[in-house]
């Protein structure tokens, strides 16, 4: 694991009729998964209306920029599919 995020749904600060969310993130030193964990926690908490915990751990030794971009794209696609599944 490189990062963990907790997302909490809350009323939007701009419109109390809209659900938004807040997130708290812990990221281990030397890891960069915090932005992915935060994005997923915010989106899932808002969509589901429940507190969620997301852990992210992606690792490839000596990863190239292209490999990192592919991991991030795959993570975004997985998040999209989870959201579609949860909305059904």
Determine the pLDDT at residue 44.
97
pLDDT, mean of each 10-residue run, the chain (88 residues): 95 94 96 95 96 93 92 95 91
Task: List pLDDT tens digits, range 12-30.
Answer: 999 999 999 999 999 999 8
Determine the pLDDT at residue 59.
85
pTM: 0.90
Is 3 in contact with 25 (CB distance < 8 Å)? yes
Instruction: Let me know the angle formed at the C-alpha of 88 by 33 and 56, rounded to the nearest 5 degrees.
Output: 10
């Amino acid at each position: 694991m490189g990062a963990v995020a907790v997302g909490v749904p809350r009323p939007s600060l701009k419109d109390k009729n809209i659900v938004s969310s807040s997130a708290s993130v812990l990221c281990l030193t030397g890891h960069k998964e915090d932005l992915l964990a935060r994005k997923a926690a915010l989106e899932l908490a808002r969509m589901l209306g429940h507190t969620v915990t997301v852990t992210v751990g992606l690792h490839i030794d000596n990863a190239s920029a292209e490999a990192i971009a592919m991991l991030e794209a795959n993570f975004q696609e997985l998040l999209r599919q989870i959201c579609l599944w949860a909305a059904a």
